Amino acid sequence: MCESLYLVREPAVMVLETAMRLIAATSMVPTQAFGMNEGNQPTKRRAQSNTPLVDYSSQKTMLVRTQSASTSVEPLKLLGLPTALCDLISNMIHSVVPGDAPGNVEVYEFISEVRHDLKLMIDSSHVYLHDFDLAMAVSSGLQFRNSLHGREAELQTLLECYQRAISSKFEVAMICGTSGIGKSELSRHFARSANDDDGSIFLSGRFNKLQSQPLYAISSAFDSYFAWLNEEHPSTAAKVAAALKENMGEEMVSLVAAVPNLANILGDDFDSEKNVSAVDAQKRLCYLFCQFVEVISKCHEEPLILFLDDCQWIDAASAALLIQLIMSGSSCKYHRLFIFISCRDDELGSTHPLNLVPSSISGFGVKMTKIHLSPLSKGALNEMVSTVLSLLPRITRPLAAILHHKTKGSPLFVKQVMIDLYKQQLLYPSLSRRRWDWDADKILEMKIPENVAAFIAKSFDHLPSEVLSALVFLSCFGASADVALIEVLEREIKQPLIAPLEAAVADSVLGKRDGKFYFMHDKLQEAAYNMMRPEERCLHHNLFGQALGNVVVRERDDRFLLFAATQINFGGPQAIIDSDQAFAAAKLNLDAGKKAMSTLDFFAANAFFNHGISYLRSGHWEEQYDVSLELFNLAAKCALMNAEHDRLKMLTGQVMHHAKCFEDKFRALCISITLLLWSSKLSVAMQLISTNLSCLGEELPVAVTQAAIQRQSDHTKAMLAGISDDTLLSYPPMSIPSKIMAMELLSKQFVNYIFSDDGDSMPMIAFKMVQTSLTYGMNPLSGVGFALYSNYLALVRGEVAEGYRYVKVALLLMKRMPSIAHDGEIMYYATHTMLRVEPLQSAIEHYADTYRVAMASGATRFAFGCSFMYDFCSFWSGKKLDLVMNSMKETMKQMIFYKNLVMLSLSRPVFLLSLRLTGQSDVHTHDVLTNVFGETYAEGGVSSKLPMVELATCFAKFYEGLVFREVDIARDSVEKYLSMASLSKANMSNPGDFFRTFYAGLVSFWIGREINDTELMKRGAECKNQIEKLVISASTWNFQNKAYLLLAEERFCERNFDEAETLYDAAILSSKTHKFVNEEALANELAGGGFFLK
């Protein structure tokens, strides 16, 4: 036989020799048998690729054997050679035997076709040289390989985006396309490619339309990560646990609820049951998650990849967290995190939460690469079919053409049609041919629905009724559900579910992995769910919710609490049959909302509370008062966090109208006050607090005089006289509710005074809080009172040592009575006094620590106050300007995200000054800020309304004039500043005013000297006197060099050059000794200028 093959016309022989070499590689047949020499080289020259395999017009064709192809290759099959290779040789023989295989589309026409097939066999031997397993094909059906077809360009784009993100500039990606187009498959191939390149760690989560757990997709991604880490890499798990404890401490408690497997690596010594509260829990969770991811990424040498699938179902809370994660990742010095998402972009409406992501991150210079997936081309679809059937693409091309025509190139649609063809035996394993075969004519005649959803729904018709019923039940829980939940549901509703679902797994409708049943694609879930009429869905959801709710109540097990409440809510009030069931639904939602709050997801909690309210029936304030009060109060709190201000007013109005006592009204009252503050209605907020303080027996003076301040100061000192710090710390806890409520209102009033710039009234709050604590005992807000009192003593009275003493008391009280909601507030005020006493370079680090504590509690106003003061003091104390600017940029990003316009306006002048000092023109940054806030951000907007902002602008301007020697700018700005600021009247809320005083003095001496203005020189002398007082009362380290330099300038104005020279030298030496680099340089410059003029 082999000899006869060798006698076939020359071009065919040359290609056959290549085939024979492939055969020889199997070590079954010697190559010499197939016309190859001893060096394994062909003995004939190669023909051109477009040469016909057989030219029947030529007389050179030589045929020795004319027996059938099946007979001619049978000896090769008996030798165990791969079927594909035997078929290739058979088709070649058919192609050179005229009339041997009429109508056979598999025969070859050109040599190039043979070469192409041989190359495919060599390159993809695992696909095309893998012998057909008939038994498996019959028992298991079609096996869809994890192969990617027609997406090579998109995969490359995603890989390039990833490389940029982890090596240069942070970047994210979004895969878009219709349902079933292959988004998830592309993500899986990307994960494998990235892992092969650098060992990256892939985390993935999927949003679910009917999912009840808060932030499920993101938290489940990290939960799976910790499960994998704990099981596969215990040493790395220990490293991560140590880093998390060191960097986040007890804050990890808030994340354990969202990421349960985190508790497994933290160990038994970590208290995961600790109760926490926060000022703004939603913002707290975003901050903690960002810190959490940053710490984890630093523990791995490999990059982390986070993929979020099906983002068309992302909720507002998850979208906000996603934006924060992206912003946090972009600000990391070493980018070790890559985030990409997928969504059905054809299902995103104009108000969809996902639309906020690209617009929000683009303002911070983070690029989002969008990768849009189109339907597969005919060639790509043929590759897919070829791979599934392990047949060469040339052979499957006719079948693929039919499938492309019927499915329009949707990969999911193709897969479902092929499965259906197998079930109808139109695509079947052929025993005679030892491969897959099909009936092309019947497939072409098949009537197939136009879209995959309709096709899937139709394909359910063949399922047994009990399987179909179980699928419908499962679809009520979304794309997947825990087996344990289904087992409980089966027991409660007394209907078989597990066995039918197992049958669906065997039928490839469902999958089962990690203790879950899941639909193989979300379109399957949608098809099953849509088999119910709307009224049937309501009844099913209600049935499941009631069943799971009974388990929660009966067994006191809240594992299924969120599922129970969610199912009842999908059923809605129309499915409730009586008042008892309505009350049970309201109570269940109250409990579910509180559980959601424990994970700090106020969006989910808000939904539960609002659903709970919807189940309350007429007369509920009389019949279910406690549940009603708690539902309305908590719903109001959520509405505040979620900025639903109109609904908040309705909810608090209901509480204020129906509450039985002041104590029951208090939560709603505090929420209303906070809303007024956030809405900049300061006068209304202050009046409301004063009125309610009066109701609690506490009065604040309407008009504050200096005499009144002095009386209260003397009274407070008298109460503190003779009381040691230890005694203060051992005071009993405050127990009278009215006084506890009064302390909270006083704290809120102080914040109102800050933003209204009411410096006279501020000390009265400090006195009242200290006096109340000394009279009625200590509570967490007592630390705030003592910190404010320390500010009064140090910043207003100049009694720095005594003020510093009460800073220590405040911080010790905070440790004794820790409160996440108030710790940041205490530390913020305490640091104001520390700036006067401790070396400035180290004291400002307290602001950095306080920022982290305040953000961890969601107290963003105090957090941004800290970040502003940190950047402000860093700039003026001489920290490296590039580091300061980077910090300012990151701070301003956060301020933009949280819409904190006031702090952003305060930061702007120093930032723009920094740009000029470094010779930059950052138009882009200015445009971003203007785009976010519109005209209110532009100069002359907020700056013209708030005195603190205008003072900051004047300060930056006259400093700029001093540095660049611009006399007119410096003169106008310093005169405006001095007309607004009272140098003799210090403000408790402005701890950095000594910087302004110092530079206002320098500019006043300089401009006064330049234009011979004695009035300005007098103001310079006033500034000098204020700084000299601080040298004596506060800190030589921080203020001595400043006093020397101001005094030198004063002596120079007086033309006392010799003494001025001595003082300049003293200022230079003191600046150098105390590490004030900028001021050392400034002293040298002023001294040099003085000597030049002298």
Task: Give 394-437 as a 3 state SS string.
Answer: HHHHHHHHHHHHHHCCCHHHHHHHHHHHHHCCCEEEECCCCEEE
Nearest to 843 by CA among 892, 885, 794: 794
Q: Contact 316/226 with Cβ under 8 angstroms? A: no
- Distance separating alpha carbons of residues 399 and 392, to the nearest angstrom: 12
| Mode of pairing for the β-strands spanning 171-176 and 367-372 | parallel
Q: Is residue 205 within a helix (H) or strand (E), and if so which, with residue range?
A: strand 201-206
SS3 state of residue 206: strand
Q: What is the pLDDT of residue 986?
A: 58
- Residue 375 has what DSSP assignment? P
- Distance separating alpha carbons of residues 619 and 427, to the nearest angstrom: 66
Q: What is the pLDDT of residue 249?
A: 74
Q: Contact 951/981 with Cβ under 8 angstroms? A: yes
Q: What is the pLDDT of residue 928?
A: 44
- Distance separating alpha carbons of residues 741 and 181, to the nearest angstrom: 58
- Distance separating alpha carbons of residues 899 and 574, to the nearest angstrom: 40
Positions of E strands within 453-527: 480-482, 510-513, 516-519
Q: 306 — phi, psi (to 5°)?
A: -115, 120
Structure tokens at 95: 């192609």
Look up tokens 């009252």; give the residue.
Answer: 669
- Distance separating alpha carbons of residues 486 and 1043, to the nearest angstrom: 77
Q: Helices (H), strands (E): how many in the chain?
A: 54, 10
Give the distance, in angstroms, between the CA of residue 853 and the centroid of all CA atoms in the same chain: 19
667-687: burial string, b at 16+ Cβ within 10 Å, e else:
bbbbbbbbbbbeeeebeebbe
SS3 state of residue 76: helix
Tell me the three-class secondary structure of 738-773, residue by residue: HHHHHHHHHHHHHHHHHHHCCCCCHHHHHHHHHHHH
- Residue 41 has what DSSP assignment? -
Q: What is the pLDDT of residue 716?
A: 96
- Distance separating alpha carbons of residues 758 and 704, to the nearest angstrom: 10
All residues at 6 or more sequence positions from 994 whose CB lies less than 8 Å from its CB, including other chains: 1026, 1027, 1030, 1039, 1042
- Distance separating alpha carbons of residues 1049 and 1061, to the nearest angstrom: 10
- Distance separating alpha carbons of residues 215 and 226, to the nearest angstrom: 17
SS3 state of residue 371: strand
Nearest to 686 by CA among 748, 608, 600: 748
Q: Contact 481/216 with Cβ under 8 angstroms? A: no
Q: Is residue 325 within a helix (H) or strand (E), and if so which, with residue range?
A: helix 316-331
Residue 628 bridge partners (DSSP): none
Dmax of the chain from CA atoms? 127
Q: What is the pLDDT of residue 1092?
A: 54
All residues at 6 or more sequence positions from 115 whose CB lies less than 8 Å from its CB, including other chains: 15, 18, 49
Nearest to 129 by CA among 90, 91, 88, 84: 84
How far apart, in Å, are the Cα atoms of 292 and each of 215, 220, 673, 856? 15, 14, 33, 11
Q: 41 — phi, psi (to 5°)?
A: -110, 145
- Residue 513 has what DSSP assignment? E
| Mode of pairing for the β-strands spanning 201-206 and 480-482 | unpaired
- Distance separating alpha carbons of residues 882 and 515, to the nearest angstrom: 52
Burial class (CB in 10 A: 0-12, 13-18, 19+), 579: middle
- Distance separating alpha carbons of residues 653 and 142, to the nearest angstrom: 63
Q: What is the pLDDT of residue 29?
A: 40
All residues at 6 or more sequence positions from 1035 whose CB lies less than 8 Å from its CB, including other chains: 800, 836, 837, 838, 839
pLDDT mean values, one per 10 residues, the chain (1094 residues) = 36 50 46 41 44 47 38 70 81 67 70 85 82 72 80 93 86 90 90 86 86 75 88 88 82 76 77 51 70 84 90 84 81 76 86 81 80 93 91 92 90 89 89 86 86 76 87 89 92 92 86 85 84 89 92 87 90 88 93 82 83 92 93 88 80 92 91 81 88 90 88 95 94 94 94 82 94 95 95 92 94 89 89 91 88 76 86 86 84 75 82 83 50 43 62 88 89 87 65 89 93 91 93 91 95 92 94 91 85 56
Dihedral angle sign, alpha carbons of residues 1079, 1085, 1091, 1093: negative
How far apart, in Å, are the Cα atoms of 787 and each of 304, 740, 801? 42, 18, 14
Nearest to 752 by CA among 828, 655, 675: 675
Q: What would the DSSP string read from start to end of 521-569?
A: SHHHHHHHHTTS-HHHHHHHHHHHHHHHHHHHHHHT-GGGHHHHHHHHH
Q: How many CB atoms lie within 10 A of CB 326?
A: 23
Q: Contact 273/254 with Cβ under 8 angstroms? A: no
Residue 305 bridge partners (DSSP): 202, 338
Nearest to 825 by CA among 718, 901, 750: 750
Structure tokens at 590: 């109250």
Residue count of the chain, please give it: 1094
Q: Contact 766/788 with Cβ under 8 angstroms? A: yes
Q: Contact 503/541 with Cβ under 8 angstroms? A: no
| Mode of pairing for the β-strands spanning 480-482 and 337-343 | unpaired
Nearest to 601 by CA among 631, 642, 570: 642
The CA-based dihedral angle spanning residues 957, 963, 964, 970, taken in that order and rounded to the nearest 10 degrees: 40
1021-1050: burial string, b at 16+ Cβ within 10 Å, e else:
bebbebbbebbebbbebbbbbbbbbbbbbb
Structure tokens at 26: 């199997």
Q: Contact 1020/1005 with Cβ under 8 angstroms? A: yes
pTM of the model: 0.68
Q: Contact 525/519 with Cβ under 8 angstroms? A: yes
